[in-house]
Amino acid sequence: MTTPRDPRDLIRQHDEQAMAGEDAAVSDVVGPVDSVFTALWRWILRTWARLFGKPTEKAEGGRLRDLLDELTAKIVGIGLDPADALLHHAQRARLMGADQGAREAGIPSLTNPGEVSQETRDAIDRGVKWAQEKLATGADELKRLEQADLAEVLRQASVARQAQAILERTARTTWNNELNEGIRAAAKEAGARLVWVAERDACVDCLALSGRVVDWDGEFDWRLTFGKKAQRPPGGVLKGPARHPNCRCRLSPWFGHDTEGALSVTHDWADAIKEAQARGDQVAVDAARRAAAAAADSASFDLPAALRREAERSILNGYALPSEGEKVRIQAADRLLAAIGTGKNSRAPSGWQVPASVKKRAERALRKGTFTTRSVPTAR
Ligand SMILES: [Zn+2]
């Protein structure tokens, strides 16, 4: 017996590739805006020093008016229009998702991964409009200042600069949505279902979905959470990640942990291999071999179970991002421990027997009200 290949290795490679793509989208979309604002900040500091001298000086009257008029004109003049760049990167994300999904499912690359979805187009329009509004309201409020020192001017100018953060969030969310739409297209093509894959330090809502499986066009149960109450997605429908801003979850095609089913698929592929060999088509032979191997892996390694176990471990170990409150994680670990119970052979909700050492460590964290370390260890 050989050890079955863990599909998470490939999925994590793909995740790194996707993160690099996402960062490229952000720097493309947000980079130019960032340069404009950085230059604008320098201009404010320089002009203030020339007109009023000290930063603490209270400026008012005509000279303040002149400064603010010029500043607001510059802000309004930024003329934010990143919609094309956002759309371009969304399309790239879909292609990457389709490619990665095809590789994870062991099928050849898709000839038609589809167009950017209407949801993503709407999200782009909304994000751009919101960012533009931020610029306008920021400029408006600056104009209304009657008297101000430098800190006050910068504080008001920062309202306009929030446009930058809005664009970044839009770029990241739409990238992840389309990446997963591409993966969905690959699952459809492969005749596979979809499994939710969360990072080990994902939030309590996302971790509860890790390892859950739906049909390629299905919906996930958004009510699942290790926390108190899961956040309701817009419209009450959760088709996949991104679930919230900065969600790093992803989908992966899944054929099912079903040896018999996988064997029959493998058998179909064996015929395909023979046929391709008879035709002398080496590309088709290789593709069919990969598909057979993927189906066999899918059967021999229970990915959903492994993911659910991993998620429960994360809750017990308190692995989390700094952005998630420790209290939330302490309460989640408390709730999970109660569900596991204290019996010697007690099992976690997903079915694995939780080692006493893991339970003890979690209990210690609960008593102290804090986890010793919250970050995921790098060596697995
Ligand atoms: Zn997530």
Q: Which of 148, 164, 190 corresponds to the end of one domain?
A: 190
> What is the spatial distance between Cα 177 and Cα 163, in angstroms, rounded to a whole number?
21
Cα 62 to ligand 1 centroid, rounded to whole Å: 52
- Judge if 83 and 202 occupy the same domain: no
Cα 143 to ligand 1 centroid, rounded to whole Å: 40
- Judge if 179 and 161 occupy the same domain: yes
Q: Is 8 exposed, middle or buried (0-12, 13-18, 19+ CB in 10 A)?
A: middle
Q: Which of 172, 190, 208 corresponds to the end of one domain?
A: 190
Residue 112 carries which DSSP code? -
- Give me the pLDDT at residue 258, please: 64
Cα 123 to ligand 1 centroid, rounded to whole Å: 18
Cα 81 to ligand 1 centroid, rounded to whole Å: 29
Residue 347 · residue 340 · CB < 8 Å: yes
The two structure tokens encoding residue 110: 């898709």
What's the whole-model pTM score? 0.84
Q: Examine residue 75 and state whether it is found in any structural domain, yes or no.
A: yes
Cα 3 to ligand 1 centroid, rounded to whole Å: 29
Q: ω before 291 within 30° of 0 (cis)?
A: no
How far apart, in Å, are the Cα atoms of 79 and each of 68, 129, 340?
18, 11, 56
> What is the spatial distance between Cα 272 and Cα 286, in angstroms, rounded to a whole number?
10
Q: Examine residue 375 and state whether it is found in any structural domain, yes or no.
A: no
Q: Examine residue 378 and state whether it is found in any structural domain, yes or no.
A: no
Cα 202 to ligand 1 centroid, rounded to whole Å: 6
- Judge if 230 and 311 occupy the same domain: yes
Q: Which residue has the tokens 């992840």?
A: 176
- Judge if 214 and 119 occupy the same domain: no
Q: Which of 299, 320, 353 corresponds to the end of one domain?
A: 299
**How many Cβ atoms are within 10 Å of 67's Cβ, its own excluded?**
21
- Judge if 166 and 235 occupy the same domain: no
- Judge if 222 and 150 occupy the same domain: no
Q: Could you list which residues have their CB under 5 Å from ion ligand 1?
A: 202, 206, 243, 247, 249
Cα 249 to ligand 1 centroid, rounded to whole Å: 4
Q: Examine residue 339 and state whether it is found in any structural domain, yes or no.
A: yes
Q: Examine residue 127 and state whether it is found in any structural domain, yes or no.
A: yes
- Judge if 94 and 217 occupy the same domain: no
- Give me the pLDDT at residue 309, please: 93
> What is the spatial distance between Cα 212 and Cα 194, in angstroms, rounded to a whole number?
8
- Judge if 123 and 233 occupy the same domain: no
- Judge if 40 and 114 occupy the same domain: yes
Q: Examine residue 379 and state whether it is found in any structural domain, yes or no.
A: no
φ and ψ at 197, to 5 degrees? Answer: -120, 115
- Give me the pLDDT at residue 315, please: 94
> What is the spatial distance between Cα 139 and Cα 173, in angstroms, rounded to a whole number?
27
In 3D, which of 209, 227, 232 has the Cα closest to residue 308? 209
Q: Partners of 194 in the beta sheet?
A: 214, 253
Residue span of the structural domain in which 54 resides: 7-190
Q: Examine residue 260 and state whether it is found in any structural domain, yes or no.
A: no
Instruction: For the chain, 380 residues long, give each residue's pLDDT as a single digit of tens.
Output: 455 678 899 999 999 999 999 999 999 999 999 999 999 999 999 999 999 999 898 988 899 999 999 999 999 888 788 999 999 999 999 999 999 999 999 999 999 999 999 999 999 999 999 999 999 999 999 999 999 999 999 999 999 999 999 999 999 999 999 999 999 999 999 999 999 999 999 999 999 999 999 999 999 999 999 999 999 998 899 999 988 888 889 999 998 866 666 566 666 777 888 888 999 988 888 888 887 777 777 667 789 999 999 999 999 999 988 888 889 999 999 999 999 987 778 889 998 888 888 888 899 999 999 887 778 876 54
- Judge if 106 and 250 occupy the same domain: no
Residue 160 · residue 135 · CB < 8 Å: yes
Taking CB atoms within 8 Å and a gap of at least 24, the contacts of 115-121 are 115/91, 116/87, 116/90, 116/91, 116/178, 117/177, 117/178, 117/181, 119/177, 120/90, 120/174, 120/177, 120/178, 120/181, 121/87
Residue 104 · residue 186 · CB < 8 Å: yes
- Count how many domains the chain has: 3
- Judge if 169 and 88 occupy the same domain: yes
213: left (phi over 0), alpha (psi -120 to 50) or beta: beta
Cα 151 to ligand 1 centroid, rounded to whole Å: 37
- The three-state secondary structure class of 78 is coil
Residue 197 · residue 252 · CB < 8 Å: yes
Cα 199 to ligand 1 centroid, rounded to whole Å: 8
- Judge if 15 and 162 occupy the same domain: yes
- Give me the pLDDT at residue 264, please: 65
- The three-state secondary structure class of 81 is coil
Which residues 6+ apart lie within 8 Å of 141 measured at CB?
156, 159
- The three-state secondary structure class of 65 is helix
Question: In one letter, which amino acid is 99?
Answer: D
Strand 147-148 versus strand 193-197 pairing type: unpaired
> What is the spatial distance between Cα 182 and Cα 151, in angstroms, rounded to a whole number?
46
> What is the spatial distance between Cα 99 and Cα 120, in angstroms, rounded to a whole number?
19
> What is the spatial distance between Cα 265 and Cα 277, in angstroms, rounded to a whole number?
18
Residue 299 · residue 263 · CB < 8 Å: yes
The two structure tokens encoding residue 279: 């035709």
Residue 292 · residue 269 · CB < 8 Å: yes
